[in-house]
Amino acid sequence: MKKLFATSLLFASIIFACGGGSETVVTEEGKVTSTLGVIMNEWDVKPTPNYKMGKHIPPGDIDVTLTNAGQLEHNMIVLNQSSYDDFTILDDGSADLSNIEVLLEIPTTQPGQSSSGKLTDLSAGTYAFICNIPGHYASGTVGKFIVR
């Protein structure tokens, strides 16, 4: 029993290290669930793990948490594409996502609050996300994360 527990801890440690800093849990069935945390404030986005620092998330299920550290409300739209560039801005100031596959939408989150959602069976790739509160996308409230 001790050997099995030690092996499980070693396997979890390897998964954690390969995940580049995201919390990763492997169930007894071998299913991988990781976390992505995103802190947004007025025009700054900080994802953890941060791909700009060589960090990534293993493929599988991902629990996503948006924390609003700003003074304005924010939301988070995860897109099934690697780019957040060149969206048309609608009359209300939001980005036109009508021809884009949205993987997850975390609803409007008030200042000082957090909201969450789940991505299921996400495959390897680079994924973009935006805040689509009117004016926020155009002001650069955008980010990416890497799954590999």
pLDDT band (50, 70, 90) for residue 22? low
Helix, strand, or coil here: 47?
strand
For residue range 76-100, what is the model confidence (pLDDT) as tens digits? 999 999 999 999 999 999 999 999 9
* Spatial CA neighbour of 16 closest among 50, 56, 67, 53: 56
Q: Which residue has the higher pLDDT, 4 or 104?
A: 104
Both tokens assigned to 128 = 């973009």
The number of residues in the chain equals 148
CATH architecture type of domain 2-147: Sandwich (2.60)
Q: What is the pTM of this model?
A: 0.81
The domains of the chain are located at: 2-147
- Give residue 147's pLDDT: 97
